[in-house]
Chain A
Amino acid sequence: MRGRAAILAVWLLGLALALLVVVRAHYIADLSGFLPARPTPMQQLLVEQLREGAGARTVMIALEGGTATARAAVSRSMAATLRAEPAFESIANGDSAESEADRRFVFEHRYLLSPAIDVGHFSVPGLHQALAETTDALASPGGEWLKDLVPHDPTGETLAIIDRLAGERAPHVRDGAWVSADGARALMIAQIAAPGSDLDAASTALAAIRAAFAAAARAPESGSARSDAGTASAGAASAGAARPSVASPSAASAGVRLLLSGPPVFAVASRTQIEQAAVRLSIAGSVLVLGVLLSVYRSLGALLLGLAPVASGALVGIAAVALTFGVVHGTTLGFGSTLIGESVDYSIYFFIGASALTASLWRTQLWPTVRLGMLVSVCGFASLVPAGFPGLAQLGVYSIGGLLTAAGVTRFVLPVLRPRQLALRDLTPLGTRCARLLGRTRRSRGRVQGCAVLLGAAAILILVLERQRLWSHELSSLSPIPPSAQQLDARLRADLGAADVAQLIVVHGSSLESVLREAERTAEALAPLIQAHLVGGVDNPANFLPSRQTQLARRASLPDAATLRQRLRTAGAGLALDTEQLEPFVRDVDAARGAALLAPESLRGTSIEAGFEALVLEAPDHWTALLPLHAADPLHPAIDTPQVRAVLAQLPPALPGSEAHVLDLKAESDALYENYLRAALRGAAGGLCAIVLLIVLARRSLQDALRVLAPLLLAVLTVAASLALAGVQLTLMHLVGLLLIVAVGSNYALFFTDALEGPAPLTLASLIVANVSTVLGFGLLMLSHVPVLTALGATVAPGTLLALLLSALLLDRRSAGPEPREAHDA
């Protein structure tokens, strides 16, 4: 009795301590666990800043379906609503109010911003050429708009700056709203105010966007429709034509659909999806498994008791992760309990397998096998720990802690707490029938083994043939974002001319001035590549805010009023343009000679500010400027990065304290991922060796160990080959799944090699119940839309089923069985 009390006390104390750690642990909800943990310091900085920076706060909004007019009306109405929301820093949909502020800013500061301004620009020949071009432009269809500008800006600086800022990638404007090139979608960009890592804020902001859309679609801004109808009211025919759109405004916006994309959308969706999928599926899985167990145990008490090992294991597992890593990833919570689902099997073996045994017989006959199976699993999971992915390492630690605890609870606590009267469903008939079935296969044992060898050989052949593309080498393969959402994102980015930054030049420096200067130098050096169409273009924060040095040089090159007036007169000779009317220009240039230089604050209130902030990152004593590179051909977005590197290498030594280098984000992250994949594969190979060693030590026979491993390896190879045949590229998650096949399947194989005559009928029944619950639990994961979960389910569910079947067919050595009983049953 003292022993029993001591066991319970130790168990409860352990649980209490674990609970304390779990409650006080720090949890992270994002998916950073599946990003490499140890990138280079520069990438670390970059990844963090990209995650927090303006890009991470950008939501791309598209409106599809309905009529073009309706889409534009919904866009305008949504923009008006959302601009009033404090959750957003800015809303851009191409409407004139914002572009008006930008235009004013550019106009006012044109002589500091324009790249054309140098000493030669306002010389007599420079002026003559610029004025001649302006005269031609006046005669062009857009000329009338230019007319207002010319007296102040006859050299066309304002338009040149706007052109450069907007680039060729700016979306088109229709009915006062951005549209895609084909006109099929209205487009908007919303900048969320809160930092990109604040998923709750992002979630609120996205809800606001959806609400604004719902409101706009219900009663779209009828301004345009009404004004059309108003002007048309003189002509009876047109008024009649316009009436339907006024009478039922909602009909006009019928069919308009809202599409959202961008980092905040992905982040929120992934979180929701992981939460929903992991939670919903594990609830559904638990219900199924509990249903199976309840139908067998036929006792709520036994059921709860049966869950004690897995629950204790989960608690200790989380505590172990918290103590080892300091933080617990959401993914660990989500996947962890699936990984130690094996520990539910322990109690199944205990209750069913041992139902006919005394406590001491359980300890001597079944427990050693369960223990060995558990140690095999621990070896397997230990190979995850050194992986560079914190998510995987956490899963490894969690599983080890969880399985050790669960096995311990099964061994020591369950016998103590086991109810004296347990009315289990009698599974002996099931076990006996299976045993008889297996016995019957004994005669064709040779054929079965031949088939297994063929199956293995075929699987190996397929894997060898497919070895080139067996493993996915792209980090994105782990992305929780479904391919369809990635395609939508790419489409909207193309529409908005906001290419996903894949290749960029990163400029580091100790001050804003130094990075801007370096950015200017770099962009200048790239000009020949752009001219040669090797690079489509480069975004440069110095286009939005030139360095002070450049601004000073531009300011210094402006002539005084008297000189400029004199030069204008000479330059205007022979031109149709009347230079006498350019006095406002002379006054503006003169004023610009004494104007204050632009600082980041000067950009406030314009959309230029957002553009600038997206490209400049500030850390204490450290500034970074990003210069995204654009491909010359948007359809084949490949940039010859080595060539860009060569150009940068030829630049004269950088300014003190600043440097520029080319970064190919995708190539870098894929290379990192590949390293981790290789490390994980090495780890898995090591784990396999450890498992062989373990079984050899436990069974004191290499032959026995190989017999145990044969069905497991066959199951792993078959599943891997089937996935390869189905065109699925394997990822790290598949590797975890293959590991789980070995971990769970080893219990089966060990039971079958345990006894000379194969496992007792009840043990056989317990294996079937355990396998059914595993296949159900993991099979459900295949229904999820989260690629990592699907990968896990598609690997483990068929794999464990196969492991049981192969173990039974290859390892069971029972004789043909008592034929007479069959006759008796019939």
Chain B
Amino acid sequence: MRPCVLLLALGLQGAAAAADDIDSLMQLLAQHRHGEASFVEQHFMKLLKRPVESLGELRFDAPDRLEKRTLEPQPEDLVLEGDELRMTRHGRTRTASLADYPQIRPLIEGMRATLAGDRAGLERLFEVQFFGDLARWTLLLVPRAPDSRVARVQIEGARDALLLVEVRERDGDRSLLTLRGHAAR
């Protein structure tokens, strides 16, 4: 229930600040053509007795290439480039359209649009709300698609660095992606 409280508390202020701050944040992010970071991702699921953790690296190249390379527990490579999704697992690569993976679309597309500073792209997919200030900001993304399994995506960051991505699904499962050593160029 924490986010709801947060929402209520920041609601008014957020709405007022949104327009300008989103733009300045997006401009800030858009300056970076390339970025990489290591990540730890925790999955909290009803099916699991305890959270499952995976770790790996995240790499972004403007304008639209995002790679999520999982190293543990199962090596796996996910590349989003344009509309194409390439997944390599067990030495086998599969290519698909992002549109065919509505489950992961909000997470990676939201993250990519944010990293790219692409406000129009972000707003086509989500209702976007901004909280905080550039030094320490939170983007709250609510998918526009009514049938999305994802209830919301929350991205936290400090200036041009992404720190945390939380995806909460409608059934209550969630995943928490913590980024470290975000080296931007």
Residues of A within 8 A of B (CB): 68, 135-145, 147, 150-151, 168, 172-176, 181, 183, 228, 231-232, 234-235, 237-238, 241, 575-578, 581
Interface residue stretch chosen among B4-12, B23-31, B83-91:
B83-91
B2 interface residue (CB < 8 Å to A): no
> How would residues 47 to 63 of chain B score, 1 for a CB under 8 Å from any chain A CB and 0 otherwise?
11111111000000000
- In the complex, what residues of A have CB within 8 A of residue B101's CB? 142, 145
Do A577 and B49 touch across chains, with their CB atoms under 8 A apart?
yes
Do A145 and B103 touch across chains, with their CB atoms under 8 A apart?
yes
Q: For the complex, give the distance between the alpha carbons of A138 and B52 in Å.
A: 9
The distance from the CB of A644 to the nearest CB of chain B, in whole angstroms, is 24
**8 A Cβ contacts from B73-94 to A:** 73-74, 76, 78, 83-84, 87, 89, 92
B96 interface residue (CB < 8 Å to A): yes
Given contacts A144-B169, A238-B120, contact A231 B144 (CB under 8 A): yes
Given contacts A139-B73, A142-B101, contact A576 B68 (CB under 8 A): no
The distance from the CB of A179 to the nearest CB of chain B, in whole angstroms, is 8
- In the complex, what residues of B have CB within 8 A of residue A577's CB? 47-49
- In the complex, what residues of B have CB within 8 A of residue A575's CB? 49
Do B48 and A138 touch across chains, with their CB atoms under 8 A apart?
yes
Do A147 and B70 touch across chains, with their CB atoms under 8 A apart?
no
Contact of B43 among A139, A234, A237, A241 (CB under 8 A): A139
The distance from the CB of B35 to the nearest CB of chain A, in whole angstroms, is 19
B18 interface residue (CB < 8 Å to A): no
> How would residues 87 to 116 of chain B score, 1 for a CB under 8 Å from any chain A CB and 0 otherwise?
101001001110111011001100000000
B182 interface residue (CB < 8 Å to A): no
The distance from the CB of B128 to the nearest CB of chain A, in whole angstroms, is 9
Q: For the complex, give the distance between the alpha carbons of A173 and B95 in Å.
A: 8
Q: For the complex, give the distance between the alpha carbons of A790 and B97 in Å.
A: 46
**8 A Cβ contacts from B18-49 to A:** 41, 43, 45-49
Given contacts A172-B97, A173-B97, contact A140 B47 (CB under 8 A): no
Do A141 and B124 touch across chains, with their CB atoms under 8 A apart?
no
The distance from the CB of B122 to the nearest CB of chain A, in whole angstroms, is 9
Q: For the complex, give the distance between the alpha carbons of A576 and B50 in Å.
A: 5
- In the complex, what residues of B have CB within 8 A of residue A232's CB? 124
The distance from the CB of A147 to the nearest CB of chain B, in whole angstroms, is 7
The distance from the CB of B125 to the nearest CB of chain A, in whole angstroms, is 8
The distance from the CB of A116 to the nearest CB of chain B, in whole angstroms, is 15
Do B46 and A581 touch across chains, with their CB atoms under 8 A apart?
yes
Q: For the complex, give the distance between the alpha carbons of A145 and B87 in Å.
A: 14
- In the complex, what residues of A have CB within 8 A of residue B74's CB? 136-137, 139-140
Do B96 and A138 touch across chains, with their CB atoms under 8 A apart?
no
- A575 — nearest CB in chain B belongs to which residue? B49
Q: For the complex, give the distance between the alpha carbons of A174 and B46 in Å.
A: 32
Contact of B149 among A144, A172, A183 (CB under 8 A): A144
Q: For the complex, give the distance between the alpha carbons of A135 and B87 in Å.
A: 18
- In the complex, what residues of B have CB within 8 A of residue A237's CB? 120
- A72 — nearest CB in chain B belongs to which residue? B97
Do B47 and A581 touch across chains, with their CB atoms under 8 A apart?
yes
Q: For the complex, give the distance between the alpha carbons of A145 and B89 in Å.
A: 16
Do B104 and A144 touch across chains, with their CB atoms under 8 A apart?
yes
Do A138 and B45 touch across chains, with their CB atoms under 8 A apart?
yes
